[in-house]
Each structure stands twice: as structure tokens, then as C-alpha cells.
Chains A and B, each alone.
Chain A
Amino acid sequence: MFTYKKDLPLDFSIYSSAVKARASYLYESDVIIENQADLVSISVISETKEEAASILKDIAYLFYREKILSETKEIRAALWDK
């Protein structure tokens, strides 16, 4: 088994629960997301290095995407008249 880790700045912690829910639905591998005192820690445990690295990148992307959508939620609603 291989473990890959990545840390994100603490301001990403508000998206952790949304990303955890999505990750548990999308991946069978173990994905551990923890909000710590000064950062968000992501760990992926998988059978191959390639898969662990790929999932870790995907998880980071899920955080980035949640941030983008969260920051643009109101203007998106206005664009689509909702």
C-alpha cells in the first residue's frame, strides 16, 4: 500500500466536509481529510503509487473547485436568474 500526502492552507478547511462527502462517493481507496490547527491535511492510501498520486491530485482539485464555486455562487445565480 502507498500513502501520498498533501497540505492545503487553512482557508480551505471550510470545504473539507463537502470534499469528504464527494471523495467517499467517488473513491474506494482510503482518503483522509483532516482540518488541523494551521492547515488542511490530505492523505490517500492506495494499492499503487500511480493511483494514490492521481486520487490525491483529484482531491486537491475538488478543494479548488469547491472554492471557485463557493466564491462565485451569487454571481452564478444572477447569471442564470435563480
Chain B
Amino acid sequence: MGQIKTPFRFRDLNENTLVTNEVGDFNLFSKDFPDRHAHGKLDPSEVKALEDLSIEFPDSQKWRVAALKNRIHWYQNRPELNYLILIPTLRCDLSCTYCQVSRAPVNSQGYDWDEETFKKVLGFISELKSKEIKIEFQGGEPTLRIDLIKRVIEFCDQKFDKHEYVICSNMTTLSNDVRELLERDDFTISTSIDGDNDIMTINRTQDLDKSKTILKNIKEVQSIYGQHKISALPTITSASVSAVKSLVDQYIDLGFSGVFLRPVNYMGFARKKHSESHDWNPVWENFYRESIEYIASVNKKQYFEEYSLSVLLKTVFLGSDSGFVDHRSPANYATDYLLIDYDGTFFPTDESRMLSRIGQIDLSIGNVEAGIDNGKLSAINKSAIHQDNPDCIHCAYMPFCGVDIIDDLSRYGRIDLAKRNTWFCNRQKYLLDLIFKAYESKNTALMDPFLMWTYHKSAPIGYGGLYD
């Protein structure tokens, strides 16, 4: 009887070697497994474990190949374009130190959709085949053009069976127009809270009173319209890196059920004013580890998750697809998701418009006038795949990871560096090591909250078969 072999990858953890198959099923083996496997000296329990992972099995079990193939197809099957990021204006009334979109001053001219562009945006939306739409209005400060936003919403309400709208606002004001939109079930606000008023003033407002107004407006939305109507995320800079507990406590005090610990992106103004963000560094690792341990301790009393880890936990333990373009490979830019800038230009992601704005590279992929530039999009997409990359192809974390050529371009000006040396790869390895080392050591102080975040409730009895 012949043997069928499928690709697998391994990575040394603390006491064990992690083995993953092509689609992310995994198990732990002894530390000398790679040597013994290479020399054909596995014991029967290891042979059985590889069979269970559909890595090496008798050809009488050919069905395992079809099962793997089905899972790859399911993962690759992306919906049609149904998520738009719209930038009605690039103007903003704040000037955050890290402004990743390089916003335009609030009184400047030529940074809003003009009427002609606006009509073409609606024309583009009218051609979409999806029956559902999610629109994220970003800026600049999008509420500066609430008139345009309301017209887009009115149009989409008519065209689509299901619709969802989010405004990413700095919350310096809370206008009657926004209040009116908040009455809708399908409308929410996303905002930024970097820490207490002092940190908000340093990072974002340069004005203590303005920082206080922002917090007052956020609380007002929560109390009048409901906690679920507004979400927030911090941008972590060197100013907030030493204040882990106060940041997390602030989010808890405001009633949020989690926080997305997001380091400042190496984009826009951040490149000059936060140049330390260029490299992956131990300061961030320490901050993150300390934060996760603190958040884990909070979970003994109440549910509170860290979203960047939650996304990976769900991918690892549930095989779910977060939909984030940098968490998938092939990235398949502009299939289900597209950004339309203030001048009608299309970009594959928010970060790609940030990078194009500073003139480092033009990553635009067409515009509302000419449509999507499929030649350019195809060229970008051909590079945004990790399954053929000489580092990723050997990495045990490949099935859980994505590819971020936009970040590579931003930091290094090229996409052909050894992936293992990139910021993106180091962050992914750090987060996935955190998960798998907690799993390996049966560290219940971490695994209890990790599994709560995975399942959105207490972990199943027996950890869903994860532990014996």
C-alpha cells in the first residue's frame, strides 16, 4: 500500500515542536521530531498523529486530499465587492502627530469630493452586484461633509437589501446630523482614544479642552444611543507605551468590551514624528506582553478582549476568516473591498492611499471615471501571496498568517526582503508564539481568556478537546 504525503511545516516552541498542515490543523511533537522525521525514525504514535493531521497517510485514505482541497477552496472563496471605504474629504480639524493619512488643513480647498466626483462615486456604487453593502466613511474628518454622507446613505438605502454604515470620526463635535444618523440601527461611529486627556492632548489635539470635549461627546453617544453605537481604538505611541494599565482601565471604565492594541503605523506624519515605529522592537513586545497579562487578569472578573489577538485566536482555533486583507493570502485586493479617495481615485486598502499620498509609490488602481485598472491590480495581487514566498513556504504559521506588501513597501521601499526580517512577519510570529507557547505550557492564566475571546463566552468544558 502506498503512502500519500502532503506539505507540512514545523516550528520549535519551548519544549515541543509545533507541526501544522497545509490548512492549519496542528499538533505538538517532541523537540527532536524534525530530525527523526527526516531520518524515518518516528514512533507509531507519531505516525498516527501525522495521519490524523492528513500529512502522511495510506492511499486508501485518499479522501483526505479532497477534504484539504475543499478547505482551501472555502478559504479562497471571497464575496463580491461589498465593503467600501469612502473618503468624502481629506480635511480635518485635528492634526494628530501620527496622522497616517497626511490630512489636509480644515480650511484648505480641493480636498473634498466635488459634485461631479460625487455623482461618479454613486454611479460606481450603482453598478455593484452585491445585495449587501458596508460603508466606512473615513477622512480627514468625514463629518465635515455630513451632507455628502447623508446623500450616499440615502442612495444605498434604496439600492441594497442590507446596509451598514460606520463613520470614523474624531468626535470633536457631535452635530444634529450625526445625532439623527445615530437613531438608525445600521449606523455606528468608530473613534480614537489613545489614553487619558494628557495623552490625547499630546497625540491628537494639542488642546486640553478639546480633549475633554471629545471624551464628553463619546460618553454622550454611549448614554443616549447605547454602548454599542460607538467603538474606539487607540494608536500606541511612545507616549502611551508606559501606561498600559491606565489605557486598559480607561477602556473598561468607558464600558468597552475590548481594546485593539495597535502600534502607530509607519505611514503619513508618523514617519517623521514617530520614526521609532519603523522597526519591530522589544519596547513594543514588553508593552504588549504586559498588556495581555493585565487584560487576562481583568477577565477573571469581566469579559474584556484584545482584538488583534482575538482575530488570530479565531483563525488558529476555529479556522475562521477575519476578512482583514493583511490576514489573508492571497490578499486578493479589491475583490470584496475597495477605497475611494477624496478625488475619486481607487486604492486597494487604506494604507495604500496613505503611502501614495506621501509620494513614495503610486498604488492607485483606477478611479471613478475610468474604473478599476485591472492590469495594475493584477500586478499588485501577484505579489501579495505568501504561499510561494521562500520564507513563508517553510513557516509553521503560514496557514494562520497573511501578507502585507503595503507595509513592506512603506518600511523598506521594496517587497522582496526576506520576509522573516520584516516588521509584519516579526509581529505575526510574536503574536502566534504567544498563543502557541501558552497552549503548549497549558498556561491557563492566558488560555482561559484566550478561549473566551475565541468562543465569545467561557471556554468549553475540557477546552473543546484542546487539552486532555
By a beta-carbon cutoff of 8 Å, the part of chain A in contact with chain B is: 8-9, 12, 22, 25-26, 60-65, 67-69, 71-72, 75-76, 78-80
Contact = CB atoms under 8 A, between A and B. Distances in A.
A78 B38 contact: no
Interface of B: 4-10, 22, 34-35, 37-39, 65, 68-69, 72, 387, 390, 393-394, 418, 420
Contacts of A67: 38
15 contacts: A8-B38, A9-B39, A12-B38, A26-B418, A26-B420, A60-B38, A67-B38, A68-B5, A68-B8, A69-B7, A72-B7, A72-B8, A75-B6, A76-B6, A79-B6
A22 B390 contact: yes
A65 B7 CA distance: 9
Contacts of A69: 7, 393-394
A72 B387 contact: no
Contact of A76 (B10, B22, B418): B22
Contact of B6 (A22, A26, A72): A72
Contacts of B69: 78-79
The 6 A-B residue pairs with the shortest CB-CB distance, nearest first, are A72-B7, A65-B394, A64-B38, A76-B7, A72-B5, A79-B69
By secondary structure, the A interface counts as helix
A64 B418 contact: no
A40 B395 CA distance: 24
Contacts of A25: 418
A1 B68 CA distance: 47
Contacts of B9: 65, 68
Given A26-B418, A80-B72, A80-B387, A75 B38 contact: no
Given A26-B418, A80-B72, A71 B5 contact: yes
Nearest to B390: A22
Contacts of B4: 75
B7 A68 contact: yes
Contacts of A65: 9, 394
Given A61-B34, A69-B393, A79-B65, 11 more contacts: A26-B418, A62-B394, A64-B34, A68-B5, A68-B7, A68-B8, A71-B5, A75-B5, A75-B6, A76-B7, A78-B69
B395 to A, nearest CB: 9
B68 to A, nearest CB: 6
Contacts of A12: 38
Nearest to A57: B12
Chain A CB count within 10 A is highest, among B22, B38, B39, B420, for B38
Contacts of A68: 5, 7-9
Nearest to B34: A64
